[in-house]
Structure 1
Amino acid sequence: MITESQKDLVKATVPVLRESGVALTSYFYNRMLTNNPDLKETFNMGHQRSGAQAQALAGAVLAYAENIDDPSVLAPVIELIAHKHVSLNIQAPDYNIVGENLLHSISEVLKISMDDPLIEAWGVAYGQLADVFINAEKALYEQHQQTKGSWLGWRQFKIAKKDVESEEITSFYLAPVDGGDLPKYEAGQYISVRVFVEDLGLKQPRQYTLSNSPQSDYLRISVKREDEKGELAGGWVSSTLHSLPEGAEIEVSAPTGNFFLIDPNKRNVFISGGVGLTPMVAMLNQLITQDMPQPVTFIHACRSGLVHAMKKHIQAHQAKFPRLSTFTAYEFPQPSDVLGQDYDVAGRLDLASMDNALLPQDADYYLCGPMPFMAEQQKALIARGIPVENIHSEAFGTGGVKLS
């Protein structure tokens, strides 16, 4: 149990963490991965090189220090990260490795002895936080064990089919090599995939939202090709996936995540930007299987029709279900878009100017896309009087990026 004096020591590091937290966590990751090179196949090296991983951890460490008196306020973040850890098969012993390297990093960066009371205080604080994560993840692992068709760790899948959705996005239909059952997951959840990256000589993981409602014989992800390797998170994994032929095998973790359709019997509004439409399509498909019990609004923003994935899929649903309303914003419409009249507005999405019928007060709202996009849409919804508790966002980590 952490003492009040130890809490005070941890809180005293808050100014340092605000000023130099990223430098500390960058040092920590370099130390840990140097001492434990096998972990390079657990952590996404693209996030390491871009600094996204260090930024996310720095934010989490700072939040814990600031809320050491009442860590319960961090429950939503802990739940989010626990799902990420389970998708990467993080186990309890891994926390010992992280703790040892974190404490030594604090000692070495701050130039204080490992016997200093501050290191002891952070050791106790870290131990308590690790126990919280271990217990949360244990419950998720047990849930997977009790779910028919689910599994623990990595399972071999083959790419059964590739379907080009736009100039940038391709859907991958993944079938289990063992031919076994697949679990019933929640529309909006994600999987981790792990592939061998030639440039690194390593297996690399990346998390991708499942872009369809549960199917009996395949999982589907729709992946944006990101050719910049290292600077943009996922570049190595996405470019490797796009280069693989049908029939190639990859490793996949079981579906997980805490962003999913909450109430199919309520009015729902889906707002997405770019490849953020993938969980929205999965949720819409789930509602289609239930004959769409309530009206749905599907709002999407992207650069142009050239990169608008699954457009025909949505249009086909709209033709069949009058309760489905759509609205599309193309920031830079192409001549073919103008001729086809395939969008509603040119320019950035502006919820303030939209018809009230498309944005009802009593609906649940789901947002997914780049962090600035989601922040802008949430602000606009609140300005329209939508209760904040009715707005649900797909957060890709504490810093707005996937933690893998």
Structure 2
Amino acid sequence: MASRPQAEPDGAWAGWRPFRIVAAAPEARDVVSFRLVPQDGAALPPFRGGQHVALRAGPAGARRVRCYSLSSLPDAGGYRLTVKRVGGGEMSGFLHALSPPFAAAVELMAPRGDFCIAPGAAGEAFPVVLIAGGIGITPLLSMLHQLRRDGWPAPVDLLYSVRSASAHAFAEEILDLQKAMPRLSVSTFYSRPEPADLSSAACDVAGRLSAAHLAGVAAPAARFYVCGPAAMIAFVMEALARLGVGAERRFAESFGPPCRRLSGAALAPQPVQLVRSGRTFLWRPGGPSLLELAEDAGVNVMSNCRVGQCDACAAKLLAGEVDCPGQEQPAADECFLCVAQPLTPLIIDL
């Protein structure tokens, strides 16, 4: 996904804002939605379907920051975040372990992001195709709520792939949206259905999303919004390109860990020096990222996606070598702190 300015809503606050969790609701196996409201009780700015927030939370001394898509349109005073528990995930494990009265302190940055639906240059509507894999449904569900609210007049297709009924989040909510949106068509794919799933009315296709399914919704003016695991996105984007869908009509946002080895060199612990802030720390393979270590050291670092899809956390590299996996690549003398993996001791202008 190309690096570009991140859209922020009117009235967005600056910096971290204290929130509290007031409710949690299970959506599917290992998937829970959390409702958050601001501690100050003040109004929240609007946001666009598909945008996300950065959330800071965790036990004392080990607070972390993660980005989560907002999974509904805002109501009178709260946001909904939907979180899938990931094996070994510090933040998802922390959130899923919470129980009423939800005393844990959490903070949010204002909603932002440009993975959104906007009318055409002349304000015209166009066919919309939303393609979700697993927890990638969250920003697309928010888009659906926005389209319903706005009375979007053009056809809307949702292709939603999950493993089985137990992983099928928001089934009832999507059904309600179908009833309220006459031009919404939903196709749900169970890639690994259980025997009982095959007779379920919620399962439209027992099997994986295919290029033939994409061809069936590839209207000439349609715009495609894809969110899910990186492998699914790569397949969908390639299939759409083969169908003649230009890059200007294909938009994607990936979920999941971005880090992968790009060189054959073995990773080892490396000392890191931040020259302007005077901080030093040791980076370890499999441990916190350079971005998280800098934050733990008390350094205020600009960040956004935290998965290598933007350049918000780019920092000048004064000495040392790194691998920098991700969809975007930094300049030769920079690194993206969220994904960079040191190959040698580092000195960073931070």
Determine if the TM-score, normalized by the shorter chain, exceeds 0.5: yes
> In the alignment, which residue of structure 1 is the partner of 2:14?
152
> What are the superposed Cα offsets for residues 59-93 of structure 1, whole Å, 9 maximum, x if unpaired?
xxxxxxxxxxxxxxx9x42x36xx5xxxxxxxxxx
> What are the superposed Cα offsets for residues 289-346 of structure 1, whole Å, 9 maximum, x if unpaired?
1223211001111111101110111112213322110111111112332222321222
Partner amino acid, structure 1, of 2:236: Q
> In the alignment, which residue of structure 2 is the partner of 1:174?
36
Pairwise CA distance, 1:355: 6.0
Taking the aligned partners of 1:339 and 1:329, their CA distance within structure 2 comes to: 13
Taking the aligned partners of 1:354 and 1:368, their CA distance within structure 2 comes to: 15
> In the alignment, which residue of structure 1 is the partner of 2:93?
239
> In the alignment, which residue of structure 2 is the partner of 1:256?
112
Taking the aligned partners of 1:180 and 1:341, their CA distance within structure 2 comes to: 43
Taking the aligned partners of 1:271 and 1:403, their CA distance within structure 2 comes to: 27
Equivalent residue in structure 2 for 1:164, among 17, 23, 26 = 26
Equivalent residue in structure 1 for 2:159, among 299, 310, 322 = 299
Taking the aligned partners of 1:351 and 1:375, their CA distance within structure 2 comes to: 12
Pairwise CA distance, 1:354: 5.1
Taking the aligned partners of 2:138 and 2:164, their CA distance within structure 1 comes to: 17
SS at match of 2:14: coil
> In the alignment, which residue of structure 2 is the partner of 1:125?
none
Pairwise CA distance, 1:170: 0.6
Equivalent residue in structure 2 for 1:290, among 147, 150, 157 = 150
Taking the aligned partners of 1:293 and 1:225, their CA distance within structure 2 comes to: 36
Partner amino acid, structure 2, of 1:243: A
Taking the aligned partners of 2:213 and 2:68, their CA distance within structure 1 comes to: 32
Give me the CA root mean square deviation: 2.3
Taking the aligned partners of 1:297 and 1:397, their CA distance within structure 2 comes to: 29
The question of whether the paired residues in 1 share the 8 Å contact of 2:18 and 2:38 is answered with yes
Cα gap change, 1:332 to 1:309, in 2 (>3 Å): same
Taking the aligned partners of 2:45 and 2:222, their CA distance within structure 1 comes to: 29
Taking the aligned partners of 1:184 and 1:266, their CA distance within structure 2 comes to: 23
Cα gap change, 1:343 to 1:400, in 2 (>3 Å): farther
Pairwise CA distance, 1:353: 4.2
Alignment map for 1:263-342 (pairs within 5 Å): 263=119, 265-342=125-202
Cα gap change, 1:365 to 1:320, in 2 (>3 Å): same
Partner amino acid, structure 2, of 1:165: E
> In the alignment, which residue of structure 2 is the partner of 1:109?
none
Taking the aligned partners of 1:353 and 1:194, their CA distance within structure 2 comes to: 39
SS at match of 2:63: strand
TM-score using structure 1 length: 0.60
The answer to whether residue 234 in structure 2 is matched with residue 380 in structure 1 is no
Taking the aligned partners of 1:335 and 1:197, their CA distance within structure 2 comes to: 41
Taking the aligned partners of 2:64 and 2:214, their CA distance within structure 1 comes to: 42
The question of whether the paired residues in 1 share the 8 Å contact of 2:198 and 2:206 is answered with no
> What are the superposed Cα offsets for residues 3-45 of structure 1, whole Å, 9 maximum, x if unpaired?
xxxxxxxxxxxxxxxxxxxxxxxxxxxxxxxxxxxxxxxxxxx
Higher strand share: 2
Number of residue equivalences:
257
The answer to whether residue 188 in structure 2 is matched with residue 188 in structure 1 is no
Can you give the 5+ residue segments of structure 1 that lack an aligned partner in the other structure?
1-73, 84-139, 230-234
Pairwise CA distance, 1:371: 1.0
Taking the aligned partners of 2:226 and 2:26, their CA distance within structure 1 comes to: 24
Pairwise CA distance, 1:400: 5.3
Pairwise CA distance, 1:265: 2.3
Pairwise CA distance, 1:189: 0.7
Can you give the 5+ residue segments of structure 2 that lack an aligned partner in the other structure?
255-306, 310-325, 329-336, 340-350
> In the alignment, which residue of structure 1 is the partner of 2:224?
365
Cα gap change, 1:225 to 1:374, in 2 (>3 Å): same
Equivalent residue in structure 2 for 1:397, among 296, 304, 308 = 308
> What are the superposed Cα offsets for residues 217-251 of structure 1, whole Å, 9 maximum, x if unpaired?
1111110011x22xxxxx00011011122433311
Larger Rg: 1
Cα gap change, 1:302 to 1:403, in 2 (>3 Å): farther
> In the alignment, which residue of structure 2 is the partner of 1:49?
none
Alignment map for 1:80-229 (pairs within 5 Å): 83=6, 147-148=10-11, 150-197=12-59, 201-226=61-86, 228-229=87-88
Taking the aligned partners of 2:327 and 2:19, their CA distance within structure 1 comes to: 28
SS at match of 1:369: strand
Taking the aligned partners of 2:205 and 2:44, their CA distance within structure 1 comes to: 40
Cα gap change, 1:403 to 1:272, in 2 (>3 Å): farther
Higher helix share: 1
TM-score using structure 2 length: 0.68
Taking the aligned partners of 2:172 and 2:215, their CA distance within structure 1 comes to: 24
Percent identical among aligned pairs is 34
The question of whether the paired residues in 1 share the 8 Å contact of 2:50 and 2:115 is answered with yes
The question of whether the paired residues in 1 share the 8 Å contact of 2:148 and 2:180 is answered with no
Higher RCO (Cα < 8 Å, 6 or more apart): 1
